[in-house]
């Protein structure tokens, strides 16, 4: 797409590029068709059934992926204060949890681990008996049909809270891109061995998709897809997640690897690179402040399934406002998710998945 504006949604589909006449009529509708009083847009809004017939976007629980936080121990359930309705759970509790999720019709979960200990290189991430590895096995045996996606990153596992191993750049500490790639490759294989269905790298390292693909293929996991957090922004909306996953950086921020919220064209380069490296699925994150990015990525790559991450801060804002009686939680949440899908997302990672399943049941 050229220019800075997001063109009409029908241009998303390459086989229906508008003719010049159509393009003109989209901006000058009244020059070509009837206009008021012959044309009355409200006619199609008179009847609920008619509104349903002309509805362009529908949100379904089958579009949703539910995040879960796994902690060490047994029979441990630790509520996450900033995310009402979400707890850190020990792996043993996931047997019942997974069955309940399937019962609700939610097709997939994405796992985040809070390890028993953290160190400089995040070595707990690579253990076969690690929190996420155990959680995958529990879920797979309890609910084999539930798709298990694993978030692949080091921020939960390093004591400094950054998304990889550190390097000194003349007095400034930074994440060492290429050294981290090797660790991500090992982490991916470890998750796949435990039974993960989809690997989702979220660290925004250059070359991460290619490195993970190579490692998975070499370990005979050529059938395991990669969902790349391709356009992930350095966002304030991750605040509640960092409490939930105990993964806040201990110094500095993530601006040297996550994207600048001011940039949209750069997202198209990130996505194109990850696709060239072999990503099967692409993600934009966060979702609500980045609907333009979702729209543009969909337009640039209509043939690639696109995921959007409706992140923790987006969830907590609605929960907090609803708790104060300032917003109708159900209507707001459904409107948020519908807008993300309308922008072009095919699937949405959302903390609201269970609520939505109950509302739409």
Catalytic residues: 232, 285
Q: Does 238 engage in binding with ligand PBG (CB under 6 A)?
A: yes
Using CB under 6 A as the binding criterion, the count of chain residues that bind ligand PBG stands at: 10
Query: Closer to ligand PBG at the Cβ: 205 or 271?
Result: 205
Judged by CB under 6 A, the chain residues 177 through 216 that form the site for ligand PBG are 202
Binding span for ligand PBG by CB under 6 A among 31-39, 216-224, 237-245, 269-277? 237-245
Query: Judged by CB, which is closer to ligand PBG: 63, or 151?
Result: 151
Decide: 234 and 208 in contact? Cβ < 8 Å: no
Name the 3-class secondary structure at 25.
helix
Q: Are strands 77-79 and 87-90 parallel, antiparallel or unpaired?
A: antiparallel
DSSP conformational letter for 119: B
CA distance linking residue 10 with residue 12, whole number of Å: 5
* Beta bridge mates, 65: 108, 349
- Residue nearest to ligand PBG according to CB distances in the complex: 241
The residues near 122 (Cβ < 8 Å, ≥ 6 apart) are 154, 156, 157, 158, 164, 165, 183
Verify binding: residue 61, ligand PBG, rule CB under 6 A. Answer: no
Any idea which residue has 């978030």 for tokens? 151
Quickly list DSSP for 87-113. Answer: EEEEGGGHHHHHHHHHHTT--EEEEEE
Residues 275-294 that bind ligand PBG (CB under 6 A): none
Q: How far is the CB of 302 from ligand PBG (least distance, A)?
A: 26
When binding is defined by CB under 6 A, the residue of 125, 271, 282, 311 that contacts ligand PBG is: 311
User: Residue 265: which H helix or E strand, with range?
Assistant: helix 265-276
Decide if residue 241 touches ligand PBG (CB under 6 A).
Answer: yes
Which residue, 2 or 260, has its beta carbon nearer to ligand PBG?
260
* Terminal C-alpha separation, the chain: 39
**Per CB under 6 A, 151 contacts ligand PBG:** yes
Nearer to ligand PBG, 6 or 306 (CB): 306
Q: Which is nearer to ligand PBG, 6 or 83 (CB)?
A: 83
Of the candidate spans 149-157, 178-186, 261-269, 293-301, the one that interacts with ligand PBG by CB under 6 A turns out to be 149-157
- The DSSP-derived string for 286-319 is S-GGGHHHHHHHHHH-TTS-EEEEE-HHHHHHHH
- Of 44-52, 217-225, 238-246, 265-273: span binding ligand PBG (CB under 6 A): 238-246
The structure tokens listed for 251 are: 């110094």
Interface pick for ligand PBG out of 187, 190, 312, 350 (rule CB under 6 A): 312
Q: Which of 68, 80, 108, 155 binds ligand PBG (CB under 6 A)?
A: 155
Write down the least CB distance from residue 21 to ligand PBG, Å. 45
Residue 109 contacts ligand PBG per CB under 6 A: no
Q: Give Cβ neighbours of residue 52 (< 8 Å, ≥ 6 apart).
A: none
Name the residue nearer to ligand PBG (CB basis): 6 or 113: 113
Q: Do 327 and 333 touch, CB atoms closer than 8 A? A: no
Binding residues for ligand PBG (CB under 6 A) = 151, 153, 155, 202, 238, 241-242, 254, 311-312
């Amino acid at each position: 797409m050229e220019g800075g504006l997001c063109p009409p949604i029908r241009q998303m589909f390459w086989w229906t590029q508008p003719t010049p006449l159509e393009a003109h009529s989209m901006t000058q509708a009244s020059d070509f068709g009837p206009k008021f009083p012959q044309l009355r847009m409200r006619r199609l809004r008179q009847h609920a059934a008619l509104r349903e017939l002309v509805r362009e976007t529908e949100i379904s629980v089958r579009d949703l992926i539910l995040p879960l936080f796994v902690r060490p121990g047994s029979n441990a359930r630790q509520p996450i204060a900033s995310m009402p309705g979400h707890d850190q759970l020990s792996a043993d509790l996931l047997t019942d949890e997974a069955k309940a999720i399937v019962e609700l019709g939610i097709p997939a979960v994405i796992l985040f681990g809070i390890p028993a200990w953290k160190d400089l290189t995040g070595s707990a991430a690579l253990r076969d008996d690690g929190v996420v590895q155990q959680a995958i096995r529990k879920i797979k045996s309890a609910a084999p049909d539930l798709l298990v996606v694993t978030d692949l990153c080091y921020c939960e596992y390093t004591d400094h809270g950054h998304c990889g191993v550190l390097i000194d750049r003349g007095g400034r500490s930074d994440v060492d891109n290429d050294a981290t790639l090797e660790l991500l490759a090992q982490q991916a294989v470890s998750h796949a061995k435990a039974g993960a269905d989809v690997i989702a790298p979220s660290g925004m390292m250059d070359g991460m998709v290619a490195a993970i693909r190579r490692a998975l293929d070499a370990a005979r996991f050529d059938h395991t897809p990669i969902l790349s957090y391709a356009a992930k922004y350095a966002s304030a909306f991750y605040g509640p997640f960092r409490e939930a996953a105990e993964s806040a950086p201990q110094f500095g921020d993530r601006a040297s690897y996550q994207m600048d919220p001011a940039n949209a064209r750069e997202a198209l380069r990130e996505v194109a690179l990850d696709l060239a490296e072999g990503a099967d699925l692409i993600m934009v994150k966060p979702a609500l402040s980045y609907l333009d990015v979702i729209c543009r990525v969909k337009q640039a790559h209509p043939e690639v399934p696109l995921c959007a991450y409706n992140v923790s801060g987006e969830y907590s804002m609605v929960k907090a406002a609803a708790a104060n009686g300032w917003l109708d939680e159900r209507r707001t949440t459904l409107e948020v998710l519908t807008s993300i899908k309308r922008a072009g997302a095919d699937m949405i990672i959302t903390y609201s998945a269970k609520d939505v399943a109950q509302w739409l049941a």
